[in-house]
Amino acid sequence: MCGIVGYMPGVREIDHQTVIGEMCDAMVHRGPDSDGTFISDKMVLGFRRLSIIDLRDEADQPLFNKDKSLALIFNGEIYNYKALRSELVDLGYEFISETDSEVLVHGYDAWGDGVLQKVRGMFAFAIWDARKEELFLARDFFGIKPLYYGAPSDDGSFFFGSEIKCFLKHPAFQKEVNAKALRPYLTFQYPATEETFFKGIYKLTPGTWMKVKDGSVIARGRYWDFNYRAADLSDDEAVSAIGETLRESVRAHQMADVKVGAFLSGGIDSSFITALFRPEETFSVGFKDYDGVFNETNLGARLSELLGFTHHKRLIDADDFFGALPVIQYHMDEPQSNLSSVPLYFLAQLASEHVKVVLSGEGADELFGGYDSYMDTPHLALYKRLPAFVRRGLYRTVGKSFPHSRLGDLAVRGGQPLRESFVGQAKIFPDDEALALLKPAYRSGPSAVELLAPYYDSLSGRDELTCKQVIDIRTWLPGDILLKADKMSSAHSLELRVPFLDKEVMRLASRLKPDQRVKDGVAKISLRKAALAELPEEWAKRPKVGFPVPLRDWLHQEKYYLAVKEIFSRPYVSTFFDQEKLLGYLQEHYEGKALRQRYIYTVLCFLIWYDEYFVKR
């Protein structure tokens, strides 16, 4: 893991060495081991390094091709770099290091954007072609590594990099809240639009590349995509293939010249990865004074003992949780209200005290069908037998009046078309409630249904399970799960790797039939069967829990109620929200009249982010 940043200079006269140095320093957490810069009339590049492979100075970036016409800055890992290196050596290329990074600059020299078809890994990188005066940007298959770009400047500068906060150090950068980002955020809990919360700054889409010349995008392309098309695999063949493919992916993801550990929650995903990996050290986090779903650290400790690993755990409390929110929203760059970001932040902090790299289980649910929302409960299956007009009527009455009750959820899921009822794994505010809370200036963004319409249009005729998985892989996975994984680990100079999110694993997962993913109320059924070869049955069959947080309880306590109330009462809150309605949500929850904890937290995270980036800075 590293950090990259750069810009095409505008017309303003500035000290580029000082500016790029400050931009690099803003992300020193991504790479505390070394830094590097490249400065020319047309391009300025900056780099911060976390040394993982080839720890020598020769592996520092920027890296160049032989005639120095190509300059590379790269964040990530290329797991098949040794094979690519051999291929390039046969073509006559000479290497000055043993790092995986160097295959990209020589590979681009040899194959152009075709190098992306050859690599296997996680990455976001930039190559400056001095001959053509063109910038080439590329992002990995799933969006494991972030890459931002844009030109909100007063002098024509074009920015790109791993973290938006770096751009703020450039004197020409113009900072403005993107008014269209807030409406979908209130539903999704994460920044869901291609344009970020900073107006004029965009996210490069996973699996794509772009070229930039003279500050303007001149070409774009998609080099990789996926498609669920069931193959003629028997159940036994599917289970065997999962075990073999995942074992090989875990082996590839162990590549490092430093110690590698693993996150181990006790759920099947991290447990399966850990059992295949057999690291020396594992890590888990839970909440003090809670057992069961709020504290699975004992499960991780038990499995580590069974398999012979050293296990480290940390317990956090409400003070830890609320105290960390400002630094977490700062590191996220954009507002994000996935509750699990907070325990993940502390988990990464713990792991960073012992290792430089961890393997983790992100991606298994999306690829193999692991979420409860992918399945119809027995009650929902019966409910769907009712005539459509009855279900639509119940949705308009019960569903809209009591959306967060069990009956209301049943009415919503059973009474709407799929493209309206399923917008991913987080649906915080229904769109009508989001609009009612927002001030008029912030209502212009797209609704969740509007944002997802192109994806659903492309899935016409596909089964419901596949539609849900594809929606999550294209939106929820890069927008929420992978973004928090990258930002929370990099905050502590820790590289997080995700063996499930490998293009060979995806190729296999996309060949599974729907009933080889979910069957008879069992999620990830084939993955669970494969895990039985490596894990005790208790772990292989454990239901999904995730990273639950006891926020509902905490917001009934006066201390935290008053802390949130102080933030909700600040003058700038009324710029964005109906302040009276917002304070009403908080009061209703505190008094036990309604469960509003997710509404409260989603808005709270936005306001803390705004305070970090537009009030303090």
Residue 2 annotated among the catalytic residues of the structure? yes
Residue 151 shares a structural domain with residue 248: no
**Confidence at residue 403, expressed as pLDDT on a 0 to 100 scale:** 63
* Nearest C-alpha neighbor of 215 from the set 154, 159, 171: 159
**Domain end position, chosen among 200, 222, 244:** 222
Low-confidence ranges of the chain (pLDDT < 70): 291-296, 377-379, 381, 383, 390, 394, 398-409, 411-413, 415, 545-547
**Confidence at residue 293, expressed as pLDDT on a 0 to 100 scale:** 58
Residue 279 shares a structural domain with residue 212: no
Residue 111 shares a structural domain with residue 213: yes
Residue 34 shares a structural domain with residue 156: yes
Residue 612 shares a structural domain with residue 586: yes
Residue at 227 is within a domain: no
**Domain end position, chosen among 222, 245, 270:** 222
Sheet strands (E) in 341-405: 357-359
Residue at 346 is within a domain: yes
- Domain tally, the chain: 3
100 is in an annotated binding site: yes
Residue environment code for 290-315, b if the CB has 16+ CB neighbours within 10 A, otherwise e:
eeeebbbbebbbebbeebebebbbbe
Element (H, E) at 583: helix 579-590
| 324 contacts 346 by C-beta, under 8 angstroms | yes
Token readout for 594 is: 């309604």
Q: Give bridge partners of residue 311 from the DSSP assignment.
A: 282
Residue environment code for 253-284, b if the CB has 16+ CB neighbours within 10 A, otherwise e:
bbbbeeebbbbbbbbbbbbbbbbbbebebbbb
Residue at 419 is within a domain: no
Residue 533 shares a structural domain with residue 554: no
Residue 134 shares a structural domain with residue 72: yes
Q: How far is CA 572 from CA 522, 576, 580, 615, in A?
A: 47, 8, 13, 9
**Confidence at residue 391, expressed as pLDDT on a 0 to 100 scale:** 73
Residue 508 shares a structural domain with residue 574: no
Domain of 530 in residue numbering reads as: 235-322+339-370+470-540
* Nearest C-alpha neighbor of 95 from the set 145, 134, 56: 56
Residue 125 shares a structural domain with residue 39: yes
Residue 239 shares a structural domain with residue 103: no
Eight-class DSSP state of 567: H
| 261 contacts 355 by C-beta, under 8 angstroms | yes
User: Is the entire prediction scored with pTM above 0.85?
Assistant: yes
Sheet strands (E) in 165-215: 201-203, 208-213
Taking each helix axis from N to C terminus, what angle separates 102-111 and 81-90, rounded to the nearest 10 degrees?
50
Residue 532 shares a structural domain with residue 557: no
Residue at 404 is within a domain: no
**Confidence at residue 401, expressed as pLDDT on a 0 to 100 scale:** 64
**Confidence at residue 337, expressed as pLDDT on a 0 to 100 scale:** 98
Q: How far is CA 368 from CA 345, 388, 586, in A?
A: 26, 30, 38
Tell me how many degrees the CA angle 473-499-427 measures, rounded to the nearest 5.
30
What is the rounded CA–CA span in Å between residue 269 and residue 567?
A: 37
What is the rounded CA–CA span in Å between residue 383 and residue 386?
A: 6
Residue 297 shares a structural domain with residue 203: no
Residue at 601 is within a domain: yes
* Nearest C-alpha neighbor of 23 from the set 40, 4, 38: 4
Which residues have CB under 8 Å from 520's CB, separation 6+? none
Residue at 255 is within a domain: yes
Residue at 405 is within a domain: no
**Domain end position, chosen among 222, 257, 286:** 222
What is the rounded CA–CA span in Å between residue 281 and residue 304?
A: 8
* Nearest C-alpha neighbor of 48 from the set 18, 17, 15, 23: 23
Residue at 434 is within a domain: no
3-state secondary structure (DSSP) of residue 391: helix
361 is in an annotated binding site: yes
